[in-house]
Structure 1
Amino acid sequence: MAARRRKMDRIVVLACIILLAGIIHPSSCRSSKPSVKSSCGYQSCHATKPGFINVHLVPHTHDDVGWLKTVDQYYYGSRTGIQKAGVQYILDSVIEELQANRERRFIYVEMAFFWQWWEEQNDSTQDIVRDLVNQGRLEFINGGWCMNDEATTHYADIVDQMALGLNLLNDTFGECGCPRIAWQIDPFGHSKEQAFIFSQMGYDGLFFGRLDHEDKKQRMASKTMEMIWASSSLGKTGWLFTGVNYNLYQPPPGFCFDILCSDVPLIDNKKSKEYNIDQRVTDFLKYCQQQSEAYATDHILLTMGGDFTYQDANVWYKNMDKLIKYANERQANGSRFNLLYSTPSCYVKSLNDVKKSWPLKTDDFFPYGSDAHSYWTGYFTSRPAFKYMVRQGSNLLQACKQMDSALSWNRATNKGDVNVMKRAMGIAQHHDAVSGTEKQAVVQDYQSRLHEGVVECQKTQTSFYQSQLPIRGQALPDVKYCQLNVSQCDVSENSSRFVVNIYNSLASNVDKYVRIPVANGESYQVLDPDGNVVDSQVIPIAAGVHAIPGRISTATDELVFLAAQLPPIGSKSYYVEKIAKNHRRVSFKSKLQRFIPGQDHIISTDKMKVRVDGTTGLLSSVTVNGKEFFVQQEFLWYPGYNGDNESADRRSSGAYIFRPNGTDAFPMRRTMAAAIITAVYTGPLVQEIHQFYDSWVSQVIRIYRGQEHVELDWVIGPIPVSDKIGKEVISRVTTTILQSDGTFYTDSNGRQTLRRELDDRESYTYTPTEPVSGNYYPINSHLYIRDPLGEQQATILVDRSQGGSSLVGGLIELMVHRRLLHDDSFGVEEPLDETAFQRGLVVRGSHYLILSDGPTSARRYRPLAQQLYKQPHLSFVPTALHFNEWKSLYRTQHQLISRALPENVNLLTLEKRTDGSYLIRLEHIYDVEEDKVLSAPVTVSLHNLFPGFVIMSAEEAMLGGNQFRKESQRLMWNSMDRQYSSKRPTKFPDVELQPMEIRTFIFHLVRDNRLDK
């Protein structure tokens, strides 16, 4: 009996611990605030009429989160001379009009704006909005922080920005705040990975407005404007119903009832000389008939809204009320049209009820051409410096969320606000932000927001180190951060002793070559966490980096050393000190090779050899592990077409459009040598060839000991335009893999790989009209070519979004920078002529070139792509302490997880949630049949993954983290094409991952008290 009482006491204590720790699962999509009984969802839809063409009128507004005006200018309605748009008035007006008539509906999309408005409302207004949401009269569609771009975004950022909006909706509105439909009506092309993300977030459908003009024409003729998108190799779990809007996202011509429009209102007073209701309804129904002929069912969706419409919602609703009334009255006289207020989700439910078999789509919707000469492929590269800033911000955010989690479970204070970075990064994913298609003043606002986020993240990093590194409570000196992208660092340049903290946010051990600027002419010694001397090398900074505008540094050298086996989700500290030049373990000074005119230049390491032609100055061959690949790389430029945009064939190249004047790209130099070799440096760790192409283009070809890729580190700009010619600069790699002949492979948002065919489209008959830009695709991670037998492959990895292609067999090209003098007339109304520091923009970037045997290619580029995206983060601490003194006071190595995950698994996300729980996302980084071994399903155990803690409870969630997987009920669809099956997952904490699968878990941690004994 006593033993039983003791057992019961332990159970009661454990229950108390669980309650105190907040380990209570909230129901899926349940609000934290009680609300009235809800009737939202599909049950709130208005009834349709069988035997009629049901016309679903969808009142909506499309509110760009920055474009011609900044986010705040759009929200508050300022700068009306640029655009008459004020989002706060839209929401005020719509809420008032929805209350006036229970039949009315409205959808809202951009949570960045809605949340700004919501936080300004009083309790009474918030209660009204909750009631409207619970009744299904106000419905959230999409639900992300913004309507993100789909070409230039990394998949991790798409997931983050969607999750940010979805979870705020969940916390505020519960189940009725969960969007069911994705609404990507304005992005300029649509990716397969984006569709996969939506499917894994539990969406029932996706609608968009933009697709290639030929694709749309053929779909309208064949009534295939709606389809099932098979977005991955995961089977039906990756299926997503997808519909193309008939008129982009605009209302029928002549039926825009808005203060921004000049269309004639509906006048039903027969005593008025302006009476027009009969003719207006007739015209509207003619349009409905025309649209219905392009769709396969008796349901059509009409987008009743546009850019920043509904600032006076009464104008819209008063006219639509009349339209519905008088159109439906005609049913008594034989009309087959039934008009109703609706939403995209109600429309999808109506289509699902039809039980039709739909065509299956397996490719994507790139590139997008709005006409025969307007291919929206320039924005894949536009504003390359901002694209890099966004990519670096993404990497930093992932690390900060991990550090914030560690601070939380160790009950330490985080002096930074990670939410600032989450929201800044969320805004940056907008389809007129990272895309580079905004005005110059707007991109500067985006950059300012990101900078604020970076500052807060650095506070989090500092809090993490101050919490984790001290051993005896000794306060850690101030942690400093440097601008290493321009090789500038006050600490390393001016301190005799300093510590470099290197944080690895990958769940695998990583080797990272560190490069930091140091004082000129000095020698250094580097010690690892155990005090062992690490090989190091001092090498001159390239002249092109020296000349980057805004660089404030006198350093001419960089110290290079290998940070080996960085711990998974953890940090290592390296101790660096100046030392006498005659010291036995001083850093190795790089040797400058002697030039012999006309002779080839060769650099080599233990695994690689690079040859540069002595006559042309260009890369000529790369040898990897004894196998030689003949390859050439050079920079060229396309002249941008200067037109007046009065017709399709006079379209200019601009922020959106890439349209070269001709098909030939011009070399930088017209002399005998295409490039001049200015220096060749050799040493035990790194070897480099410095190239000079022109006064505005230079490059370093670099190889490191132990690595099997070539790094191409380039500096481009200011692009000269004194000749009045805009220029599109490319890096072109030519190989002997000639059999690739029109076939190449590109990533989808940094994840899946898609096969491309020159001058061909999988889904429709394509007419080549722009031989260069019509074959460009977005590259966020990798582009490769290979021979048909798969024996050789050439892969290039990018450090930001760029446009790329293979226009000739054996050739790869990537657009790295562009400066244009004419607008392309798609709304920005200013040319893409970026400046910084009173001159044309200068950009520094890098490509990784991998030459490999086909069977091993995936395991060469997949991990390296992850490392390029999640580069380790460096921080610096100046100190007067000797190494042994430092080590006695501070930890020099620390990791947040107990072990590395399998090599084909990535820990995509680890973050703290507002309710005290934690979210983790695990992904399989290989696709089906990419690798004979690593493409197999893999099981990961999370048991004892977090040292010192026990996972007390866990539940699998949908990808957005806003609902539990077991409670997600997606609509089921039939397809006229092949069927897929999916396997049941293993039971937590053993997580089975199929190729390209991402799984999300919400869990609670409690401290393992056994460690205290």
Structure 2
Amino acid sequence: MLPFIWILFTLTLGKMNVFFVPHSHNDAGWLETADWYYENKVRHTLDNMLGILNLIPEAKFVWAEIYFLSRYLQDYPEKKPQVISMNKQGRFEIVGGGWVQHDEATVDLEMAIRQTEAGFDYISSELGINEVKIGWQLDPFGHSSLTPALFEKMGIEVLVFSRVEYNFRTQLQNSSNMEFIWKPQGLNSENGVFTHVLNNHYSSPSFLSLWFWDEHCYGQLPANETGVLNWYNIFSIQALEDYVLSTAYKYKTNNQLMLIGDDFYYTDWNTTYYLIDLLVKISEQSTNVNFKFATASEYFDAVLSSSTSFEVFGGDLMPLVSAGSSGHPSYWWKPWTGYYSTKPHIKQLMYNTQKFARIGEIISSSWSATKLMAYEVDMCTHHDAITGTMKEPVYYDYLQRIENDQQMLLNELGLQINNLTSTNSTSSTELMIPYKVLFIINPLNWAVKKTLSLEAASEYVRIFDTSNQTIISQSVPYLDNYKSYFTYELQGLQIKTFFVSEYAYKCDGCSIPSTLNNIQTISNNYITIELTKGLLTSLKTQNMEYFIDGTIVRYDTYMSGPYSFVEDEPAEIICELETFNHYSGSIVDVAESYLRYDQDVFIQRIIVDKITDSFIMTFYVYAERNNDIFYRFHQIYKQKGWFYTFNTANLQKRYFEPNASNKTGHNYYPITGGVVADLGDKFLYFIPTFSLGAGMPFENVFELNLHRHPSYDDQLGIGSYSGDIYPVEHEWIIGFTDLNYQSIWDHFLDHRSSPIVFFNTFNNSLTTNFSLATEYNTIPQYKNTYEFLNNFDCAYLSSLVIRNNSYIFRIFNKCNTQIKVDFTEDFEELNLGGLPLNNMRKFNEQGYLELIAYNNTGKNVLEYPKGDGNDGIMPYEMKTYKLKANGIMDKNIMSEVVGGDINGINGLSYSMIIVCGAGVLGILIVVVAFRANKRDKIGLEQLKIELD
């Protein structure tokens, strides 16, 4: 029967071509620390495979994690020429190219770009590799539509992964669609990426796997030449050919990708040699199948050079639900939705440090031409780091790495800011008591008016500027201290210098104490918030009231774990209001609720200032063992598909699905950018400061995961779950919005990139902790203000770094209107990863692929507006530019005055100007209110950007 099947198959598709692609998946920490893995595993893998490439001409190898490769080549620089040579020969291929394989559920757009750019920068500068075509996300626990949108803009054509929801996989396999074109709309994605779902996992077929010398038991593989011959004689070649035939129906062409490897593979020399030697013999002696060694690119070149067309998918592949252990009933299926919120402390620390990294890059690059890289933060985007899915010692290792990067960034920022703002001029200000130096930085490159705060031990704090003018402030009790709130307007990318003095008594200019009452209504001229028993009940605008009754609930965790969350309905409603305080004043009103649950007290604060139509909600929480804690909102509006998730690329409508046994976990999603709820006449948005999970346990309910502390391991990899000793404080901005991308991006950036309040220390480092700041009693010698770049309302400066004597900067168009760009010869456009632009391959499309579970379809993604051409930056697109750097920025010469007749939309013209003078070069983004009939060039070379 078998020969007949082979004949039939060959007549249909032609002879099968199987591409052996050796690889090793190397987690940058998981069960062991990254250092342990490097010393005990990774360096041996690289040693062995580089040796194999020298000994066996047919052998090839692919490598993904640049973090480990950079360590190896730093330790063994003599290996670098071989890596470069083998890459040029097409035998050692870089796939993925990021510092690590980042998680896709808990990492936002900028975090994903930064870690990938770190890897791209290394391979370009150190290895001369200026192109990565294969995206390699083998192990993340579900895949976001942000990924293909981002990868396309990075020049990546193909995405390879293995983990996909069980029902998705079944549908894809049965329809021969395990390869498709993933074409989301985000970031002005046009081609999409060609997506390959691996047949099973990223491991070798079981009969080709390594044996018990490894810590994993994969099967039996001969470890010497006699064993190879015995294996060949017993199994002949038939077992492998049967395997190929049994899986061929899942793909559309007569080419099959067979990964040879697994976690930390090829660490034993003898087994590595005989495995590769066995595969050589197979490739030489098989007659029914063409077996050969290849890189990943060779396989995809073969697939995409065929005349085959592929279906297009436009949705999102979250969440991941797996079928669990063999033999278990469907209610044991594992929804990989818990890690969205597992160990929230590391997520909060990552996002806080990311904010410092961005502004640190901009300041260091523009002021001192210093290359600043937060490599430890980049490493902790790894899918077993920010996710919280690791052994306990590894968790603490990650936290230390992030804290090290944070301190490095604070030291560098302090050095740069003190250089920028210090002056030797004599001040006439006379200070009666010691003061602390306060720096406020606006990370956005447009003006903002914000209500800010600082924490101090005294109720009486005076904030004043370099001319001794008092900044009016209001004090509000905060735990055992006080917060002083004040409102200030900052220009784009501006640093303001203030001074703060504490008093033990009331003084002229000191913070005005708040008035205390117990009224559970808090409001300003734009919005009114009603609370009941300390929790949100309704929100009122000037003419409408929207009911969103809030409760705190807990789930038992006996079916959950670090990776998974299984809702055990009905959830228990918890918390009783223990204390309520309403502090009111001229700047803010703060409603503070102390909510008791068992031995714990959770603290909710709602902060409403006088100037905005949104409000801030903070929630301090810690979950004891066996608790999943959620903030739940009920709404009375019966729209279907009222719950939207924003992943910093796409807004996607999510429909409630009843939790039938085969749909466990389908209603929970990762929130990296925000949640938008349709309340009928208005849309309500929640934007967090760091990622978390959210879902719909019922059709008219949504809930945000505050903290989780499972009691058990969920048998998905760790083996035993370690506890979490850290509480966390969430901070959400909440308000009403129109459902469009410009509004969502405005709110998102306004919150995520809100002004940062730093204090100076004696060694010119910075701190966000007032109590750690240094007191001075000398005459202050600081400039009042410093601006890096002028305001530019639509073009968000995502990053500005200096590398290889060039400025590289990313611009995101957050507006609904195309920005046109005219280049001069000094500019070069790069891809988002910082490598040269290359022509992207076009794919043959054939209809649309609609996945049956979750209503997961591109039809549910909010459509993007389109520009009217390809010149410039489309709405909600990000682009990267490169400019030769000759020195440091000098703000004093960075200005342009333009006059003339008003024309164009709203009479606005935008210019990105490169100012050169006296050997000093800088980058300026400037908003000009009038477009001149004839620009005064004044010897400046410029990149002109005009609002279309």
Deviations 1:415-450 (A, max 9, x none): xx833xx21011111000001111121111111111
Correspondent of 2:635 among 735, 738, 756 = 735
The alpha-carbon distance between structure 1 residues 102 and 771, as it changes in their structure 2 partners (threshold 3 A), is closer
What is the CA distance between 1:186 and its match in structure 2? 0.6
* Corresponding pairs, count: 837
> What does the per-residue CA deviation read over 1:2-31, in whole Å, with 9 as the maximum and x for residues that have no partner?
xxxxxxxxxxxxxxxxxxxxxxxxxxxxxx
Matched, 1:923 2:812: yes
Aligned residue among 752, 756, 775 for 2:667: 775
Match of 2:291 among 321, 325, 339: 339
1:320 and 1:293 map into 2 onto residues whose CA distance is: 27
| TM-superposition CA deviations, 1:168-202 (whole Å, max 9, x none) | 11112224x63210111110000111111111111
Structure-2 change in CA distance of 1:285 and 1:571 (3 Å)? same
- Structure 2 CA distance, aligned partners of 1:1011 and 1:286? 69
| CA–CA distance in structure 2, aligned partners of residues 619 and 495 of structure 1 | 43
User: Partner of 1:763 in structure 2?
Assistant: none
Alignment of 1:859-878 (within 5 A): 860-877=743-760, 878=774
Equivalent residue, structure 2, for 1:42: none
Contact 1:802-1:814 within 8 A present in 2 as well: yes
**Structure 1 equivalent of residue 587 of structure 2:** 685
SS in 2 for 1:824: coil
Following superposition, the deviation at residue 623 of structure 1 comes to 2.4
The reply on whether 1:956 has 2:908 as its aligned counterpart is: no
Structure 1 match to 2:695: 805
> Which residue does 2:53 correspond to in 1?
98
CA contact (8 A) 1:924 1:997 kept: yes
Per-residue deviation, 1:560: 1.2
Q: CA separation in 2, counterparts of 1:919 and 1:273?
A: 56
- Per the alignment, residue 890 of structure 1 pairs with 782
**1:1009 counterpart = 2:908:** no
SS at match of 2:363: helix
Distance 1:327 1:580, change over 3 A: closer
Name the counterpart of 2:646.
Answer: 747
| Correspondence for 1:604 | 523
**How far 1:952 sits from its partner (Å)?**
7.9
Alignment equivalent of 2:511, drawn from 559, 574, 587: 587
- Deviation for aligned residue 1:1004: 2.2
- Equivalent residue, structure 1, for 2:128: 174
Which residue is equivalent to 1:540? 477
The answer as to whether partners of 1:231 and 1:240 remain within 8 angstroms in 2 is: no
Q: Percent identity?
A: 22
Deviation at 1:585, TM superposition (A): 3.9
The reply to whether residue 639 of structure 1 matches residue 639 of structure 2 is no
In the TM superposition, what are the counterparts of 1:834-853 in structure 2 within 5 Å? 834-835=724-725, 841-852=726-737
State TM-score, norm by structure 2: 0.83
The alpha-carbon distance between structure 1 residues 621 and 864, as it changes in their structure 2 partners (threshold 3 A), is same
1:574 positional shift: 2.2
Q: Say whether residues 1:154 and 2:154 are aligned partners.
A: no
Distance 1:588 1:625, change over 3 A: farther
CA distance 1:664–1:275, change in 2 (3 Å): closer
- Does 2:165 match 1:212? yes
Question: Which residue of 343, 355, 367 maps to 1:383?
Answer: 343
Q: How does 1:218-229 map onto structure 2 within 5 Å?
A: 218-229=171-182
Tell me the distance in 2 between the aligned counterparts of 1:470 and 1:959: 36
Partners of 1:347 and 1:568 in 2: CA distance: 48
Q: Is the 8 A contact 2:712 2:720 kept in 1?
A: yes
Q: 2:355 matched to 1:355?
A: no
Mapped to 2, the partners of 1:148 and 1:781 lie a distance apart of 17
- For 1:746 and 1:895, the matched residues in 2 are separated by 35
Residues 942-992 of structure 1 show CA distances to partners (whole Å, capped at 9, x for unaligned) of 9xxxxxxxx9821000111022x2xx0222211113899986543xxxxx3
* Equivalent pair of 1:269/1:275 in contact (CA under 8 Å): no
- Does the alignment pair 1:465 with 2:417? yes
1:559 and 2:484 matched: yes
Return 5+ residue gaps in structure 1 as ranges: 1-48, 78-85, 476-491, 547-554, 643-651, 761-766, 836-840, 926-933, 943-950, 987-991
1:901, 1:940 within 8 Å by CA — same for their partners in 2? no
Instruction: Supply the AA of the counterpart residue of 1:99.
Output: N
2:20 touches 2:259 (CA, 8 Å); kept in 1?
yes
Q: 2:354 aligns with which of 373, 381, 394?
A: 394
Q: Secondary structure at the match of 2:549?
A: strand
Contact conserved, 2:594 with 2:602, CA < 8 A, in 1?
yes
In structure 2, the residue matched to 1:311 is 267
Q: Which residue of 2 aligns with 1:126?
A: 80
2:461 to 517, 524, 542: 524
* SS of residue paired to 2:315: coil
Secondary structure of 1:976 counterpart: strand
TM-score, with structure 1 as normaliser: 0.78
- What residue in structure 2 maps to residue 663 of structure 1? 569
Instruction: Return 221-230 or 449-458, whichever deviates more.
Output: 449-458
**Equivalent-residue separation in structure 2 for 1:741 and 1:971 (angstroms):** 39
**RMSD of aligned alpha carbons:** 3.0
Q: Which residue of 2 is the match for residue 900 of structure 1?
A: 791
Alpha-carbon distance between aligned partners in 2 of 1:75 and 1:365, rounded to the nearest angstrom? 32
Partners of 2:186 and 2:77 in 1: CA distance: 48
CA deviation after TM superposition for structure 1 residue 351, in Å? 0.7
Which one of 931, 938, 952 corresponds to residue 819 of structure 2?
938
Q: Residue type matched to 2:482 in 1?
A: D
1:283 maps to 2:168: no
Partner AA of 1:178 in structure 2: E
Structure 2 distance, partners of 1:825, 1:784, is 34
Contact 1:102 1:137 in 2 (8 A): no
Tell me how far 1:272 sits from its aligned partner: 10
Q: Is the 8 A contact 1:267 1:274 kept in 2?
A: no
Matched, 1:970 2:853: no
- Does the CA-based 8 Å contact 1:267-1:277 persist in structure 2? no
Q: Which residue of 2 aligns with 1:67?
A: 30
* Residues in 1 aligned to 2:343 and 2:750: alpha-carbon distance in whole angstroms: 24
Flag the 1:681–1:957 CA change in 2: closer, same or farther, 3 A: same
Structure 2 distance, partners of 1:698, 1:269, is: 67
SS at match of 1:61: strand
Provide the rounded CA distance (Å) in 2 between the counterparts of 1:255 and 1:800: 42
CA distance in 2, matches of 1:183, 1:272: 31
Shift of 1:474: 8.4
Is the partner of 2:112 in helix, strand or coil?
helix
CA offset digits 1:235-294 (Å, max 9, x no partner):
663410001000210111221146425644469989999464352421111111111121
User: Which runs of 5 or more structure 2 residues have no equivalent in the other structure?
Assistant: 1-11, 324-329, 761-773, 850-863, 887-914, 921-937, 939-948
> Aligned with 2:590: secondary structure?
strand
How far apart are the structure 2 equivalents of 1:201 and 1:430?
Answer: 19
Letter in 2 for 1:157: M
Matches of 1:814 and 1:605, distance apart in 2: 26
Match of 1:162, SS?
A: helix
